[in-house]
Structure 1
C-alpha cells in the first residue's frame, strides 16, 4: 500500500486531491477517519494501528461484502425456485418497504 508518492513535487501536491474521496463522495467519512488515524500514529505505525479503519474504507470502495450478500440471496432464490417453493408471481417479489 503506497500512500505518499516516491518523488514529491509541486505537481504531485496539486494533483494529489484528484484521487481522494473528499469531494462529497460516498466514502468521504471512512477515508477521512483513516487518514486522520494515519496522521495521528504516523505512516509506519499507522498502517498497523489503523487496519480496522482501512478495512472499512476498502469495503466502501469495493463493495465486496455487499456483492457477496447479493449473490447469496440470488442463489438462495434460484434454489427455492428450482425446488418449487416459489412459483408464479412469487418468484421475483420485492421485499416490503420496512423489512430493512
Structure 2
C-alpha cells in the first residue's frame, strides 16, 4: 500500500508533502529541460509515466541509459580516448609522420555565416 510520498516498491518520491502554487516553480532548477539533454529527459519521464515505477525500471532502461549518456558523455569520452590511443600507437610505430594529421590550424577555419541563410544566429 502506498502512503504519503512512498511508492509501493519502496522508492522515495521527490514530490513535496504539501503542494502549493509555488512548488512546481522551485523544482525547475532540478530539471534539464533547458539544456541539450532536455529531449532525453522528456522521453525518459514520458516512458516512466506510461509504465509506472516498478515496470518503468524494466521497460524504460533504454531511455534511462540515453539520458545518463547525455548527462555524462561517458561513451563519447571513451571513444575519443580510444581514437587518440590508436593514433598515438600508429605514430610510435612510424606509420604516421605527424602527431596530428589533417589537423585544422588555429585561424584556418572560418565559418561561413551566410551559408544556408544563417546570419550569425
Structure 1's consecutive aligned runs of 4 or more residues displaced over 6 angstroms after TM superposition are: none
What secondary structure, in the 3-state scheme, does the structure 1 residue paired with 2:14 have? Answer: coil
In structure 2, the partner of 1:55 is 65
Counterpart CA distance in 2 for 1:58 and 1:82 is 36
Structure 2 runs not aligned, ≥5 long = 1-10, 105-121
Q: After superposing the two structures, state which structure 1 stretch, 69-78 or 13-22, moved more.
A: 13-22
Correspondence for 1:18 among 8, 29, 40: 29
Q: Superposition pairs for residues 71-90 of structure 1, below 5 Å?
A: 71-87=81-97, 90=98
Q: Superposition pairs for residues 12-51 of structure 1, below 5 Å?
A: 13-23=24-34, 25-51=35-61
Q: Number of residue pairs matched?
A: 92
Q: CA deviation at 1:12?
A: 5.3
Q: CA deviation at 1:76?
A: 0.5
Question: Which gives a bigger RCO, structure 1 or 2 (Cα 8 Å, sep 6+)?
Answer: 1
Structure 1 runs not aligned, ≥5 long = none
The TM-score normalised by the length of structure 1 is: 0.77
Counterpart CA distance in 1 for 2:12 and 2:59 is 15
Q: CA deviation at 1:81?
A: 1.0
Q: CA deviation at 1:49?
A: 1.1
CA RMSD between the two structures: 2.4
Counterpart CA distance in 2 for 1:43 and 1:83 is 53
Structure with the higher helix share, 1 or 2: 1
